[in-house]
Chains A and B, each alone.
Chain A
Amino acid sequence: MGLFDLFRTRPKNTAALATERLRIIVLQERAASGRPDYLPMLRRELLEVIRKYVNVDPDAIDIHVTREGEGEVLELSVALPEKPSAPPAAVASDEA
């Protein structure tokens, strides 16, 4: 560091920032690499089917593959909206 560098404002410890960012992304990517390739597609198609009946949020579907002993379990959870907004099938049966 030369004399004139003293007058320059330097970003503080960017190495620590890099370490922190990498720690997070590497963990995330390692978790993702164990998952089967078809999960994103499955998630999208399930969402389309569910939306025919209930108007759920795109983020409402959660898919996980977990390992239990020898086998793997596909876990799927769908958060339904509080007030079901116009589910077509239900409306039709009420009127009858």
Chain B
Amino acid sequence: MISYHISKVFSIAPYQGEMPQELKQSLAEGLARGALRRFSDSGLHAHAALRELKTQESELLVSASSFAESRSLEEYIDSFPSASPARFQRSVHPSAVQQARVPNSAPLRRYIPLAGQEGLAITAVRTALASNEDNVILIGGEECGTWSVGIQAGSETGYAFGLRLMKEPGKDQPPSLGTISWSMDYDDKADKDASLQHFHSQLHTRSSYKASHPDMGSITLSWNNRP
């Protein structure tokens, strides 16, 4: 089993359809005036998460999303036959993090963008923890699609989360809020829902939980002080 300490949490409540204006304004904090219109919803999610978690260039960043840039993808496909270069560029899978980092020329040594659906929470946590890096930032979420939702090619729910993880809490590190673990072993008594959205709902409410899949192993989320 591999365990990391959670030193900071970012989470926004699930929403459906258009992102609420109030939420959009709060996520956009720190952006240059006029920059907001260049951001997709998932770009805003990433911007806010990475700002809140104070991501450094030497830290591993893992991001996870089943549909990623749903709206940009839809808009790009609908721009044919005069394909839009901006929408194409924004539809590429890791675009959300690029939107958050490029305006500040903020490099990253190591960045792992993950897709997937079944067991994506386990995959994302395992990827973060198996890295053996001292500090890891794990972010995830979805933006709401429009026409893609009806054909299960986009998410009907928007949400986002971020975790700052550390291998060992040092004396100069913030106190541990909890731990997150991955083990190769299957636990048939654990939660069977290892989706990213369910992981987010547990994290958002600071609930402890264990999810397991026979082929993927188990993840455990536990908190030191529940609110």
Q: Are A and B part of the same complex? A: no
